[in-house]
Structure 1
Amino acid sequence: MNRETRIEADRAAAPAAPCSRVGVALAALGMLLLCGLPAAADTPRNERPFDGVWLAFSGGAGASPAWPTDKYTPAAKAAIAAFEDKYGPDAPEAGAFCVHAGMPSMMTSFAGYPIEILTGERQMNMITETGNFRRIFLDGRAHPTDRPPTSSGHSVGRWEGETLVIETTGLAERLQSRQLSAQARIVERLYLIDDKEGVPSGGIAASMQTERGGKILVDEITVIDPTFYTEPLKFVAHYRRAPDTAILEYDCGKEFWDEALEKLARERGKE
């Protein structure tokens, strides 16, 4: 599927606007009366409560939460074994070649890379300093059925009071570290809590310049992948605001990792 076809798939999944924008005040008022006001219960008091730059600070020693390896299904074990047979058990991690981590790793990394959240009228954008980018559509659209899988998948969100519930599907299969099948689904619950004693703290970002005493962003993550795991996997990430931190450029390319894997396969006679 080329880029234009993918764009059309996203557009087709978006709901049609109930009212057209008009250029005169009288027509705008008429449309407002015709369409009615949105339900207040579906929108938090602050429509952009998560906007800004954040640093994850819990998890300990700068590592992401441990990924359980004792819950693999037979299908997962077979797929992982085939990957290791072709490339070897010590094949380099994709991240060593700057390949984007994708979901859910981009939300559970405590290595000190900030993430910026920007909310627009129809979507929320999340950008990490490592080059990961995801869009969470907030306009009620469904997941497209003909969109190619990607490392970050396709995300839609809805508000439950002041909690944003995000569902992500369309994920590419991953067979090396934090493995996922193409049928995986990820559900997140994002909300704010008060920064106070008792909140877990650790990782590289714990010693970096973050805002204390304000709000903490909590991301509760559930990975639902019955093809690869015998039960859902659950993780929690905590973030503090980093208002004086800028997102820097992180310029890398996937082709270097592809070349490294192809070289390993040739050396093992697995072309």
Structure 2
Amino acid sequence: MRTVIAGLLLLGASTSVSGQWLKIKTPGIPRKADGKPNLTAPAPRASNGKPDLSGLWMTETNTYWINITGDLNPGEIRPWAEAVYKKRVDDLDRDTPAAHCLPLGPPEILAGGQYRIMQAPNMIAILYEGGAYRQVFLDGRGLPKDPNPTWAGYSVGHWEGDVLVVETAGFNDRTWLDYGGHPHSEDLHVIERFRRRDFGHMQLEMTFIDPKTFAKPIEVKLAVDYVPDTEMLEFVCNENERDSRHLVGKASDEVKGQGQVDAAVLSRYTGNYQEHDSPDEMRATIKVTGGQLIFSLAGKGGIPLTTLSETKFYFPGGFPIDFVRDNKGAANHFLLHTAEGDLKFERQP
């Protein structure tokens, strides 16, 4: 969440917008009679007859990039990995690669930034907004047998009909699987399936396989949308970096264990909420699972909230949440407190 806030502030602080091509019309794409992009036009084809995935894309809003394990059941995370995760949460995620301008690794495509896909017959390149890149080789080679572990791993792909299947392995274990701090081993194997449904819409399915870390594979299915009539901004993470020196303290300094609140009270907070203060206008869903509130962005994945009192909860990473109730005890909105300011999520009918 802190990464999202920082990104929004970066966009808000940008200058000379016209000089950054943010409002330039993308040439060569299908358009309607009124000049707007026709995102439901047929998907383009490459010279070999396969779908052409080229373009500027953005994965739909989700919670998996914050907590990749949101759909797992208790006990499906290996004890060593659970211990690492809890320590990182208690350390307020100060050692997350993003906080130190290191590559995000496997979850970068989930994190909500734009990325450009460039397709050639024997290779696909993915250029991320944060400056990282991937090469997916389509020339028939297999994954390396004994690779030198890297941040992005080694990727090879093949076509199954109109679906591009990408397999990646050879990761080092320094990346995190999500912003929250779930680790992985060097045995991690990631399978991605890209299916371009039409010009403006693609389906992405990701499978994370790491038996040393999880009792079963983690599967994520998300929509990916084409981003027309704009370009990516340059982003240099380490430029004017001032955050890391302030990343001090522990969550346990503020949160003294999980409080107990009656399920009937928690149920008053369930529902859909809308935030209007940021350009993204984030949508959140609150539900109750196992006597605990679960926070989800756009209903994709989930993050357990620590209960502090009947109205106060804690979002991992150092973000208190306050539910505001009316005189009948019903919640009409909640406030997510961040260092950059409060975000107000209003309850939807």
The alpha carbon displacement at 1:147 in A equals 2.9
The alpha carbon displacement at 1:150 in A equals 1.8
Match of 2:227 in 1: 242
| Correspondence list, 1:42-121, <5 A | 46-47=49-50, 49-59=52-62, 64=65, 66-68=67-69, 70=74, 71-77=76-82, 79-80=84-85, 89-92=91-94, 93-103=96-106, 105-110=107-112, 113-121=113-121
Greater relative contact order (CA < 8 Å, ≥ 6 in sequence): 1
Cα gap change, 1:137/1:77 in structure 2, threshold over 3 Å: closer, same or farther?
same
Please tell me whether residue 178 in structure 1 is matched to residue 182 in structure 2: yes
SS in 1 for 2:82: helix
Amino acid at match of 2:222: A
Cα gap change, 1:58/1:91 in structure 2, threshold over 3 Å: closer, same or farther?
closer
Q: More displaced, 217-226 or 67-76?
A: 67-76
- Give the conservation status (yes or no) of the 8 Å contact 2:138–2:158: yes
SS in 2 for 1:136: strand
- In structure 1, list runs of 5 or more residues that go unmatched: 1-42, 195-213, 265-271
- In structure 2, list runs of 5 or more residues that go unmatched: 1-45, 250-349
- Give the conservation status (yes or no) of the 8 Å contact 2:125–2:135: yes
TM-score, L = length of structure 2: 0.48
Cα gap change, 1:247/1:219 in structure 2, threshold over 3 Å: closer, same or farther?
same
Amino acid at match of 1:90: L
What fraction of aligned residue pairs are identical, expressed as a percent? 26
Cα gap change, 1:80/1:56 in structure 2, threshold over 3 Å: closer, same or farther?
closer
Whose helix proportion is higher, 1 or 2?
1
Match of 1:190 in 2: 194
Cα gap change, 1:59/1:88 in structure 2, threshold over 3 Å: closer, same or farther?
closer
Q: Deviations for 1:62-83, whole angstroms, at most 9, x for unmatched residues?
A: x7374217421134235557x7
Cα gap change, 1:97/1:58 in structure 2, threshold over 3 Å: closer, same or farther?
same
Amino acid at match of 1:139: D
- Give the conservation status (yes or no) of the 8 Å contact 1:65–1:108: no
Q: Deviations for 1:91-146, whole angstroms, at most 9, x for unmatched residues?
A: 4122123322111x111112xx2110001232100011111211111011122234
The alpha carbon displacement at 1:162 in A equals 0.5
- Give the conservation status (yes or no) of the 8 Å contact 1:75–1:227: no
Give the superposed CA RMSD.
Answer: 3.3
State the distance in 2 between where 1:172 and 1:134 align: 15
Amino acid at match of 1:101: L
Whose strand proportion is higher, 1 or 2?
2
Match of 1:222 among 207, 211, 220: 207
State the distance in 2 between where 1:251 and 1:46 align: 37
The alpha carbon displacement at 1:215 in A equals 3.4
SS in 2 for 1:49: coil
Cα gap change, 1:52/1:88 in structure 2, threshold over 3 Å: closer, same or farther?
same
Please tell me whether residue 135 in structure 1 is matched to residue 139 in structure 2: no
Cα gap change, 1:44/1:66 in structure 2, threshold over 3 Å: closer, same or farther?
farther
- Give the conservation status (yes or no) of the 8 Å contact 1:44–1:161: no
Cα gap change, 1:91/1:55 in structure 2, threshold over 3 Å: closer, same or farther?
closer
